[in-house]
Structure 1
Amino acid sequence: MVRVGIFTLDFKFYHDIIADLRKWKIPFTSLESKSNIPRDILVVLSSEKDERFWDRQINARDSTYGIRNSLPLLMNLETFDEVIIGVDPGPYPGLAVVADNVLTEAFEMPLIEMVRSEVIKIRDSYRYRNISIKIGDGDKPHRDQIIHDLISTGIDIKVVDERNTSMPHKIHNNALSAARIASLGNIFVPPRNNEKMGKKDVYDREFLTIQAALNNVF
């Protein structure tokens, strides 16, 4: 499997990038030298304070930016063709990103007021040719507030039918619904009501995850 290389003299960045790569479940290794980079290292992450020495090196302002910016390179792409941000509206909105059919992230926001700033970070950190937002048509008051907040981002917004994106209720969460909303009309297949699955199983069953996508590289 391909890996991320880490080369930095910035201790805080080193600590943060290791913690976040583990959270994202992306394989990595620390590089001791700028030369003789292993063949399975497709991208090197460094702090913006570090010297640039390789054409597939990202000098990132923070760890999340670095990981998001590195994803197409890890998949042997220069950039994604299409990034879709899915939003499950509500008091604790779900956010998800699907990039060229790969579910790259899905999480819940603690405050509705934080959605705009997070969407801007996603917009500014991914590499893509096209980007759009799909927001579910439920919870009209919160949906309308989120749309109002997102208009200024300059990203095309589509309101979509979110029926079946919360099934089955036992394993439902807002992040999962956002991932399904982002995938509507693409790869999302509603689960059967009597199908027994855990939260991890449902992500692996319904989506092409980063881990599965990286297994197909090389």
Structure 2
Amino acid sequence: MTQDFTVYYKIAKFLSDRNISYIHLQPEDLVPPDVTVIITTKEESDKIEHPNKIVITRENDINEFLENILVFMRSGGNIEHIIIGVDPGEDPGLVVLNNGIVISAKHLKKPEEVGKEVKRILRKYSPKSCIIRVGSLSGIYMYRVLKSLKGVDARIEIVDETTTSLRLRRNSDILAAIRIAMRSGREIDIDTLEEIDVPKGLIRDIQRRSRILSKGKITISRDLAIEVALGKISLEKAIEKMYERKRHNKLSIKE
């Protein structure tokens, strides 16, 4: 519902390209009962009475408000409850489900980004309730994901991934996250989360990667490898610290 031709053109093209049916109304028109979502401008929104309004402004990033349109269309205009599924890993997969339908899916660069992304999702959709389900494999990455969720107002569950049906999914982090989201898990209290032991194999792998990244010049120590595994520092920072330690040791020997 808008008289702004520029806004109307953008929305009409977006909906038409995706074969989504719509009607164009003026702000003063009566809304037919079968209309589930109203799209309008900030200036015209006060004139329109409807429970589901998407309000856009000229300053909005077009991708953002078009994404919101799709979300409302897929969800039937009702986002009261969402489930977030997370497949832990070095670059976690994360999906958002509403009424069993995926309304958002993405890869994150590191486990620590999960908490920030979840908070952004909760601000964006403002659901009445939310469940976050995290896969149980990749223990150290699961731990880092859970740590990032401290302070998030939602029920958090760990989903058992040891069953065959879930183990077969490692070729797709997003598919894994969907399956995790659709499976009930064991609720966990983040505030009681304790630091876990880093597997020796992972420590050795991080040390190996430090040699590769430094082109064979250095291997970081075990304690630095543990900090990298726990997400406390980056591998690059650990290499810098190791260089600094070696430089300091050489100076001490000379003295």
Fold match (TM-score > 0.5): yes
RMSD over equivalenced CA pairs, Å: 3.7
Measure the CA separation in 2 of the matches of 1:168 and 1:49.
48
Report if aligned partners of 1:85, 1:134 keep a CA contact under 8 Å in 2.
yes
- Which structure has greater helix proportion? 2
* Helix, strand or coil at the partner of 1:133: strand
For residue 124 of structure 1, what is the aligned residue in structure 2?
123
Measure the CA separation in 1 of the matches of 2:161 and 2:3.
43
Aligned CA distance change for structure 1 residues 151 and 117 (closer, same or farther; 3 Å): same
For residue 155 of structure 1, what is the aligned residue in structure 2?
154
Report if aligned partners of 1:83, 1:99 keep a CA contact under 8 Å in 2.
yes
Measure the CA separation in 2 of the matches of 1:123 and 1:26.
29
Report if aligned partners of 2:82, 2:97 keep a CA contact under 8 Å in 1.
yes
**Does 2:70 match 1:74?**
no
Instruction: Find the structure with the greater CA-based Rg.
Output: 2
Report if aligned partners of 1:13, 1:63 keep a CA contact under 8 Å in 2.
no
- State the structure with bigger RCO (CA 8 A, min sep 6), 1 or 2: 1
For residue 168 of structure 2, what is the aligned residue in structure 1?
167
Structure 1 residues 100-109 or 147-156, which shifts more?
A: 100-109
For residue 84 of structure 2, what is the aligned residue in structure 1?
85
1:23-62 CA-to-partner distances (Å, cap 9, x unmatched) read 9x68253625221445542111235455331323232564
For residue 251 of structure 2, what is the aligned residue in structure 1?
none
Report if aligned partners of 1:90, 1:112 keep a CA contact under 8 Å in 2.
yes
* Helix, strand or coil at the partner of 2:115: helix
Report if aligned partners of 1:7, 1:30 keep a CA contact under 8 Å in 2.
no
Task: Report the number of matched residues.
Answer: 174
* Helix, strand or coil at the partner of 1:165: helix
Measure the CA separation in 2 of the matches of 1:143 and 1:28.
42
Aligned CA distance change for structure 1 residues 68 and 29 (closer, same or farther; 3 Å): closer
Residue type matched to 1:74 in 2?
G
Pick from 35, 38, 60 the counterpart of residue 41 of structure 1. Answer: 35
1:158-212 CA-to-partner distances (Å, cap 9, x unmatched) read 111123335356xx311111110000149xxxxxxxxxxxxxxxxxxxxxxxxxx
Alpha-carbon shift at residue 18 of structure 1 (Å): 6.4
Alpha-carbon shift at residue 115 of structure 1 (Å): 2.1
Alpha-carbon shift at residue 154 of structure 1 (Å): 2.3
Report if aligned partners of 1:68, 1:125 keep a CA contact under 8 Å in 2.
no
Report if aligned partners of 1:89, 1:136 keep a CA contact under 8 Å in 2.
yes
Residue type matched to 2:168 in 1?
M
Residue type matched to 1:167 in 2?
L
Measure the CA separation in 2 of the matches of 1:145 and 1:8.
49
Query: Given the two structures, how large is their TM-score scaled by the length of structure 2?
Result: 0.53
For residue 54 of structure 2, what is the aligned residue in structure 1?
58
Measure the CA separation in 1 of the matches of 2:169 and 2:75.
35
For residue 215 of structure 1, what is the aligned residue in structure 2?
none
**Does 2:33 match 1:31?**
no
